[in-house]
Chain A
Amino acid sequence: MSAGPGAPSGAEHVVATLERLGVDVVFGYPGGAIMPFYDALHGSSIRHVLVRHEQGAAFAADGYARATGDVGVCVATSGPGATNLLTGLANAHMDSIPLLAITGQVPVDLIGTDAFQEVDVLGMTLPVVKHAFQPTSPDELAATLEEAFRLAATGRPGPVLLDVPKDVMQAAVEGGQAALDLGPGAGGATGARGGPASPGAGRPPAPPSDQVTRAARLLQESRRPLLYAGGGIVLGGLVDDFRHFAETTGAPVVATLKGLGAVPVRHPSFLGMMGMHGARAANEALQECDLLVCVGARFDDRATGRLDGFAPDARVIHMDVDSGEVGKLRSVDAPILGDLRPALHRLAVPLSIDAWRDHCLERKAKLAFDYDAPIDGVFAPRLIRDLSVALGDEAIVVCDVGQHQMWVAQHWAIARPERHLSSGGLGAMGFGLPAAVGALVGKPGSPVVNITGDGSFMMNVQELATVGRYELPLKIVVIDNSALGLVRQWQKLFFERRFSEVDLSDNPDFVEVAAAFGIPGLRVDGPDEVAGAIDRLVAEGGPLLLHVPIDPEANVWPLVPPGASNSQMIESEADEPGHPAAPGPPEGDPR
């Protein structure tokens, strides 16, 4: 079934189609069933970034997609290669990231026989991809790939799997040369944010006019409106439109983790992140507002806290591209579905809400974070604030998952959402380092820093080899509390201080680990060394790792306890359950 001399193979069609779609980089790791693809890739214009684990490939493609707005592409072989992609696919699915995963599969006749390195990746990925394709004829390949690519990027973006049997890639394609001769660029790539080749292509239809009219009436009737910004704003290419809407109405803004940067966090109207580790000014405004304008968000439990106590007095305008999200968790008074751009502009009318706005901003000023709190050792919030200032608004910060992630969300001056890359819905430790690799590959001119924790860093530490191989000027800051900090914090607060399997005090020396991969490092042993280390980090032309030990007792504040309403935030150690000065558990707490 192999392609004869001069007859293009299925794999050559895959590569040619990727080129035609405008793909210039893929992240992957070769293996048996995907070898025909790698053979066709040899000599192609597409750059291949060799990672050291397939999960790294998926996260790198994800980071590339988040930073650029284009579809990220990752490649793996069948069996373990495919299963190693799963966490990355789930991550992209939860955060609606446009991703195309190409996996090799055993030959068609061996599917279902438990052949070597055969797994049912199509079946395994069902709930974590937007769709999965398994073409069984070489003649289907190009069209299926184009459809997969289109599907990943349009509507509500998401990951799409293309699982290609090895013999399909090896076989000759009927009349294949003609398709190959179309050459790069003929198809026109379309990224999730409008695309490099076809601006505006693939946008969903505009919402019905009566939906917008009803929402406009609710806005005019409201005395205490609040804008609730989600990740859909950046995914839909709506940042500037949302900013115009917020500026014109003058309504205060709160954001989810993924919505951070929808307006710059330094903007006076921005009250902070909402939810479990959100700002009190944001959460209290949510409890008081009479109209909630949710844009591109999905009432996630980490953002809303206890749902029946969330924004109890508010009517809701829910604007989204996905009708399956509207009314899913909170009933809606005015849905707006479809392309939100025209709706945001139609709703952008000045509102007479000075008293409410002043009230929110005064509270925000009163609750400003104290970066000079006396503390032994390095104070992580201050470190992050100082790094943010030093690296500037153009820097892309890529987090892992845990306490450091929340500190970044709270204290980094995020200027735009695509400059803050964080695993939101899935909360996947190990995301940060490979996603930062992807961001740097996609945005080679931007400063990129991976702020990580000691637990997360170790989960994909092998990708230091990728940083070294491609001489990526990535800056890595390992905030090391020798523990699984956020789990430890919960054990302290909600499990009566039974610290079960969270001690990581046997971590390796991270500076030496970096050195083993040819990456220089620096240990920051106390507050006096922070400024010098940041100066070195900014000045360093190549990669650099800062290892910053901190106190394991340092916790993330404030915190909404699990099962509690956002109105029941605890602010400090003194508020901890069990502490003599603490209030009782929240009413209805399911613990």
Chain B
Amino acid sequence: MNYTLIFELQMRPAALCRALRLVERRSRRVIDLDAHSLDGDRTLVRITVEGRLPPEVLAAQVRNQYDVRSVRYIALEDAIPGDAAPLPAAAAAG
């Protein structure tokens, strides 16, 4: 199934790489990705994947990361058309 993880990172060395690689490795593929700084210290990441794990399990694994401050996920319709599919409004709103 496809789902979007939305998580907030404390920006420390390699924090973004660590979290993104974890999600990429634990998923079948990454469909979409967006990240932006909240205040220079924190970054909000939205990543949509074709999942291999149940979303709550991958969210828990992301939450285990030292730099991750919060995580939530949104399960999407299976019919997300392709790599360029826009995020649903709820996910895009962060």
Please give the residue numbers on chain A whose beta carbons come within 8 Å of chain B beta carbons, in ascending order: 122-123, 126-127, 130-132, 134, 151, 156, 322-324, 326-328
B contact residues, total (Cβ < 8 Å): 19
In the assembled complex, B37 has its CB within 8 A of some CB on chain A: no
Most B-side CB within 10 Å, residue of A123, A131, A156, A322: A131
Name the A residues within 8 Å of B67 (CB-CB). 131
Please give the residue numbers on chain B whose beta carbons come within 8 Å of chain A beta carbons, in ascending order: 13-14, 17-18, 21-22, 25, 53-54, 56-58, 60-61, 63-67
Q: Which residue of B lies closest to A135 (CB)?
A: B13
Name the A residues within 8 Å of B65 (CB-CB). 131
Of A123, A131, A322, A327, which is within 8 A of B54 by CB?
A327
Name the A residues within 8 Å of B13 (CB-CB). 122, 134
Whether the Cβ atoms of B57 and A131 lie closer than 8 Å is no
**C-alpha spacing A25/B65, complex, angstroms:** 29
Q: Which residue of A lies closest to B53 (CB)?
A: A328
Most A-side CB within 10 Å, residue of B17, B56, B60, B65: B60
Which 8 A/B pairs are nearest by Cβ-Cβ distance? A324-B61, A323-B60, A131-B66, A324-B60, A126-B18, A327-B57, A328-B57, A324-B64
Q: Closest Cβ of chain A: how far from B27's Cβ, in Å?
A: 13
**C-alpha spacing A123/B57, complex, angstroms:** 25
Q: Closest Cβ of chain A: how far from B28's Cβ, in Å?
A: 15
**C-alpha spacing A472/B75, complex, angstroms:** 57
Of B57, B63, B64, which is within 8 A of A326 by CB?
B57
**C-alpha spacing A134/B65, complex, angstroms:** 16
Q: Closest Cβ of chain B: how far from A297's Cβ, in Å?
A: 16
Whether the Cβ atoms of A126 and B14 lie closer than 8 Å is yes
Most B-side CB within 10 Å, residue of A131, A134, A324, A327: A324
**C-alpha spacing A130/B14, complex, angstroms:** 13
Q: Closest Cβ of chain B: how far from A130's Cβ, in Å?
A: 7
> Could you pull out 12 A-B pairs where Cβ atoms are within 8 angstroms?
A123-B14, A123-B17, A126-B17, A127-B22, A127-B25, A131-B67, A156-B64, A323-B57, A323-B64, A324-B63, A328-B53, A328-B57
How many residue pairs between the two chains, A and B, have CB atoms under 8 Å in the bound complex? 39
**C-alpha spacing A156/B66, complex, angstroms:** 13
Known contacts A324-B61, A327-B56: does B21 contact A126 (CB below 8 Å)? yes
Starting from the known contacts A126-B14, A131-B65, A131-B66, 4 additional A-B residue pairs (CB-CB under 8 Å) come to: A126-B21, A127-B22, A151-B66, A322-B64
**C-alpha spacing A123/B13, complex, angstroms:** 9
Whether the Cβ atoms of A132 and B14 lie closer than 8 Å is yes
**C-alpha spacing A328/B51, complex, angstroms:** 12
Name the A residues within 8 Å of B56 (CB-CB). 327
Q: Closest Cβ of chain A: how far from B19's Cβ, in Å?
A: 10
**C-alpha spacing A131/B56, complex, angstroms:** 22
Of A127, A151, A156, which is within 8 A of B21 by CB?
A127
Name the A residues within 8 Å of B60 (CB-CB). 322-324, 326
Q: Closest Cβ of chain B: how far from A334's Cβ, in Å?
A: 15
Name the A residues within 8 Å of B61 (CB-CB). 324
Q: Which residue of A lies closest to B61 (CB)?
A: A324
Q: Closest Cβ of chain B: how far from A107's Cβ, in Å?
A: 16
Q: Which residue of B lies closest to A160 (CB)?
A: B66
Q: Closest Cβ of chain B: how far from A330's Cβ, in Å?
A: 11
Q: Closest Cβ of chain B: how far from A2's Cβ, in Å?
A: 25
Q: Which residue of A lies closest to B25 (CB)?
A: A127
Name the B residues within 8 Å of A122 (CB-CB). 13-14
Name the B residues within 8 Å of A131 (CB-CB). 65-67
Q: Which residue of B lies closest to A130 (CB)?
A: B66
Q: Closest Cβ of chain A: how far from B13's Cβ, in Å?
A: 6
